[in-house]
Chains A and B, each alone.
Chain A
């Protein structure tokens, strides 16, 4: 056996250096433990993300609702008075029957005379 072979044979002794029995089971358990918080925080982050998205969507729906109500109020204030002819008539004076001495209706009054009423 030459020197190089003997050297290699000596170095090969190191392959018998192994960790204690049960080391690799413990190693795996530690690996699991180390990654449990990571995956749990990943899950928490995912849940938080979903909640934020849901909250944003809910806010958007609420905002849209407020917008629609506001729009409806504005429309009601702007359009409804113009669109109803009866309201224009509301400026008319009430019909007052005040017979004067001549039995004529007062100027500006649209009230009919009792005579015509009788007709």
Chain B
């Protein structure tokens, strides 16, 4: 693969419509939380519908495995549902559930590391499952699909090579578009620490993805 291929693919994909990265945090969440506390289980389901795609993204980019992501996400919502009486409302529901999801993901990754059977072969490469992506790549050049797959594989490996602290900030900031301040509230570390972790993570990623980066 020539050195500009990655950059070219990135340019093509950048032209695709963006998915909204920032959740709309409104009083709606507080109302739904209050209704859930009042015994209305359907109100919590509205919160599941609202936040499952974002949390799925965060967990998936941390684990690079769909089955693990699915199970973990179910557990995150179950824990949030059970812990809702303890939710004081000092932070937004969005920050609170994101913090639960990140903590549970960190714990899961620690356990997975101890499992001898797990290896990078278990990484999923889900980008080819994106219909819009397949259409775009196949329509212009059938070979491009294999390039995308290769890039995807390298990206996943590069992400998994990062430490969990670095991977989570890359996931939240670069992939999910969450601002530094919000990441700082979720992870309970300073914004300076977030910026520093991002800097070092990008340096490390550059090394792993050098073949896809043009001059």
Contacts and interface: CB of A to CB of B under 8 A. Distances in A.
Contact of A16 (B70, B74, B132, B174): B132
Nearest to B77: A31
Interface string A2-34: 011011111111111111110010011011101
Interface in B56-114: 56-57, 60-61, 66, 70, 73-74, 77-78, 81
B41 A10 contact: no
Given A6-B213, A9-B10, A27-B73, A17 B52 contact: no
A35 B78 contact: yes
A21 B129 CA distance: 10
Contact of A13 (B41, B49, B131, B155): B155
Interface string B169-186: 010001111000000000
A10 B202 contact: no
A26 to B, nearest CB: 10
A84 interface: no
Contacts of B48: 27-28, 31
Of residues A7, A9, A11, A24, which shows the largest number of chain B Cβ atoms within 10 Å of its Cβ? A7
A39 interface: yes
A27 B177 CA distance: 24
A16 B13 contact: yes
A27 B130 CA distance: 18
Contacts of B45: 28, 31-32
A106 B155 CA distance: 132
Contact of B19 (A8, A15, A27): A15
A8 B73 contact: no
Contacts of A9: 7, 10-11, 14
15 contacts: A1-B7, A7-B206, A7-B209, A9-B10, A12-B14, A13-B151, A14-B155, A15-B57, A15-B177, A16-B16, A16-B133, A17-B127, A27-B56, A27-B70, A31-B48
